[in-house]
Amino acid sequence: MAPLKSSQRWFAVGTSNHPDATTAGAEAAAGALTGDEPKLLVVFASDSYDLVQLLAAINRRSGGAPLIGCTTAGEIASSGPDEASVVVTALGGPGFSCATACATNVSSHLRESGAQVASCFSKVEDRPYRTLLLLTDGLAGDQAEVVRGAYSVVGATVPLVGGCAGDDLRMKRTRQLFGDRVLEDAIVAAALGSDSVMGLGVKHGWRRVGEPMLVTSSSENRVHSLDDKPALDVYLDRLGASPAVATDPAAFTQFAITHPLGLNKRSGEEVRFVGEANFTDRSLGCIAEVPQGGLAWFMEGDSESVLEATDAACVDALAPLAGRPPLGFLAFDCIARKGVLGDSGIHQEVSRIGRLANGAPVAGFYTYGEIARTHGMRGFHNQTLVILALS
């Protein structure tokens, strides 16, 4: 898609669903690299590709411009949602500055790794508006720790935004992309400075189902019991799950993506993606911490409530722009919302995002968790849509 330009900045998106990695990388990069002085490339790609070949093709076209990215559970572009494709976003011009970083083997020290990648902020040219983009391995443990680590470095004045990589719902292994490297158990980050304002919106669209429960036993992101009963048994019984969901991990994952866990927090209601179940000890594994002793409830949504949240997230992201036309949108959309909307609904959603972007390019992916922090230390979300609007 042709870039939108201001006098100092540009933002463009290229896509390809060609099955050959080299061809797909070259096509998507050609569509994105249409302006001068590219400062950052962001790549969202299906892990069905040979990712080494894909990156090689993109980097040949860009001349080695800074690059971060990750694998997905589906890709988003102005042309619509897709699977088994690659989306490349490029931004540049003298009105942007950027610095990138990565951390590996992060699952054993998530908070420290969040701080490590956030240190790239000290290397970015200072500009009036700044944000830190994080792409993480959501299967590595409590992602709230990543946010806490990044916050400890950049502080309260720098928004955090991003998402957790996917692997097409296999829930086995995600990959993070950095330059020409394909990483696992990693975090990649880009500190971005701009001469013009950036806006951030986040909404989920879920509602409570049934009575609240007490989290009577949990450890970090694993829930062992609810109301003194095995958490998995309560989950299956309360939601009326079919017998297959109680025994088959794949069937459980498909069921769980549309049945998250809601938590009562001082900062408001938070949602947790139930990523997997242990059928032996009857516990539930979530993507972020579920504190013991807190109140929780199950949640559900429908197409109407999810699409209303889509509109609200875009409106919130556009509000700081105060009427300025956006250069582009980056969208981080939970795979659970895709499960609720279905094939026709996700096309409606991306169309609505494009309309609210006023024709500006849109790029994003379906995630295993989302990052959006504008105030306070908390900024990790599940089952939400996060929109970053650049102007």
The mean pLDDT value for 202-214 works out to: 88
Backbone angles phi, psi at 22, to 5 degrees: -65, -45
pLDDT at 266: 67
Render pLDDT for 74-122 as a digit per residue (tens, 0 to 9): 999 999 999 999 999 999 999 999 999 999 999 999 999 999 999 999 9
pLDDT at 208: 86
**How far is residue 92's CA from residue 33's CA, in Å, rounded to a whole number?**
9
Domain boundaries, the chain: 4-203+304-390, 207-300
> Half-sphere exposure of residue 345, counting CA atoms within 13 Å on the CB side?
17
Question: Which listed CATH number (1.20.120, 2.40.30, 1.10.3470, 2.60.40) goes with 207-300?
Answer: 2.40.30
Render pLDDT for 276-322 as a digit per residue (tens, 0 to 9): 899 999 999 987 789 999 999 998 878 888 899 999 999 999 999 99
Give 5's pLDDT tier (boundaries 50, 70, 90): low
**How far is residue 326's CA from residue 358's CA, in Å, rounded to a whole number?**
8
pTM: 0.85
pLDDT at 4: 65
Nearest to 68 by CA among 148, 152, 186, 185: 186
Nearest to 190 by CA among 133, 137, 148, 152: 133
pLDDT of residue 189 exceeding 60, the answer is: yes
pLDDT at 122: 93
User: Pick the residue with more confidence: 31 or 126?
Assistant: 31
Render pLDDT for 142-165 as a digit per residue (tens, 0 to 9): 898 999 999 999 998 899 999 999
Give 27's pLDDT tier (boundaries 50, 70, 90): very high
User: Pick the residue with more confidence: 336 or 247?
Assistant: 247
Q: Cα 334 vs. chain centroid, distance in angstroms? A: 7
pLDDT at 71: 98
